[in-house]
């Protein structure tokens, strides 16, 4: 089994939440082979999901799973991921996965993703004021996914806004998918354009206390995550969900 992280995924997500990032609406379940314990865990999850379902009957759910190596206790790099689950099917899916998998259930809609990817803020260990960034992303009017990134850009953080502007002018603005997403953004907020979204991602990543780590994110076509109903917040931060940070 390939392994990567030592700190549990849920702990990494909680760190982002504590630092004010818009993380996904989720419920976490650890595996158990004991039937009564499993039934209780599933029941608690269904109660959580039912409250969301009552507010939005069309909301789908997703289950990200992972395992730990018995020898090293480290987290597996790849494991099963089930998406677009209807509320009425969630209990059945959990019953299949729970005996052996750590399950992270989220209430976000994959089809609503428009821009998605990852970003790293690199910090020089001997000169901490010197920072660079690397960003990988994809732009799609429907179902933009983090791991489907097809664009990459990097440079000095201080010049990041200019670098992203040049990329937009020279490459991005001629693409059909960019036109489609740009048009949608202008309808939501006249000041929200793709290059400003990417600049926001870069600056938000820079305020995270951990540097030299990979931050995964998605910008949806509507408010999502734990800030989805925070009408006191600007619209754009409520549309960007930060999934987790990882080292590899």
Closest CA to 133 of 220, 199, 219: 199
Per-residue pLDDT 10s for the chain (248 aa) are 344 455 688 999 999 999 999 999 999 999 988 889 999 999 999 999 999 999 999 999 999 998 765 544 555 556 788 999 999 999 999 999 988 899 999 999 999 999 999 999 999 888 878 899 999 999 999 999 999 999 999 999 999 999 999 999 999 989 999 999 988 888 877 667 898 899 999 999 999 999 999 999 999 999 999 999 999 998 889 999 999 999 98
Q: What pLDDT, on a 0 to 100 scale, did the predictor assign at position 125? A: 82
Q: What pLDDT, on a 0 to 100 scale, did the predictor assign at position 121? A: 97
Task: Name the burial class of residue 201, with classes exposed (0-12), middle (13-18) and buried (19+) by CB atoms within 10 angstroms of its CB.
Answer: buried
If DSSP codes are grouped into helix, strand and coil, which group holds residue 211?
coil
26 within 8 A of 13, measured Cβ to Cβ: yes
* Chain-centroid distance, C-alpha 69: 24
As a dihedral over the C-alpha atoms of residue 241, residue 113, residue 248, residue 119, rounded to 10 degrees, the angle is: -70
Q: What pLDDT, on a 0 to 100 scale, did the predictor assign at position 150? A: 96
Phi (first) and psi of residue 185, to 5 degrees = -60, -40
For 83, the token pair is: 């998406």
Q: What pLDDT, on a 0 to 100 scale, did the predictor assign at position 1? A: 36
């Amino acid at each position: 089994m390939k392994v990567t992280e030592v700190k549990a995924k849920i702990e990494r997500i909680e760190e982002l939440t504590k630092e004010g990032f818009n993380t996904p609406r989720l419920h976490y379940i650890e595996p158990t082979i004991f039937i009564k314990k499993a039934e209780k865990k599933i029941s608690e999850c269904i109660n959580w999901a039912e409250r969301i379902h009552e507010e939005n009957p069309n909301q789908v759910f997703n289950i990200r799973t992972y395992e730990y190596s018995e020898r090293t206790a480290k987290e597996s790099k790849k494991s099963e991921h089930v998406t677009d689950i209807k509320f009425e099917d969630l209990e059945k899916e959990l019953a299949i996965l729970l005996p052996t998998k750590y399950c992270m259930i989220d209430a976000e809609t994959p089809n609503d993703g428009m821009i998605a990817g990852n970003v790293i803020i690199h910090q020089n260990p001997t000169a901490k004021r010197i920072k660079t960034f690397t960003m990988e992303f994809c732009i799609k009017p429907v179902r933009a996914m983090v791991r489907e990134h097809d664009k990459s850009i990097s440079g000095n953080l201080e010049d990041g806004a200019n670098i992203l502007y040049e990329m937009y002018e020279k490459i991005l603005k001629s693409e059909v998918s960019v036109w489609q997403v740009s048009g949608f953004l202008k309808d939501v907020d006249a000041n929200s354009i793709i290059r400003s979204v990417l600049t926001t991602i870069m600056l938000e990543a820079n305020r995270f206390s951990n540097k030299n780590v990979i931050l995964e994110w998605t910008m949806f076509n509507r408010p999502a995550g734990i800030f989805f109903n925070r009408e006191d917040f600007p619209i754009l931060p409520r549309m960007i969900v930060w999934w987790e940070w990882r080292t590899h």
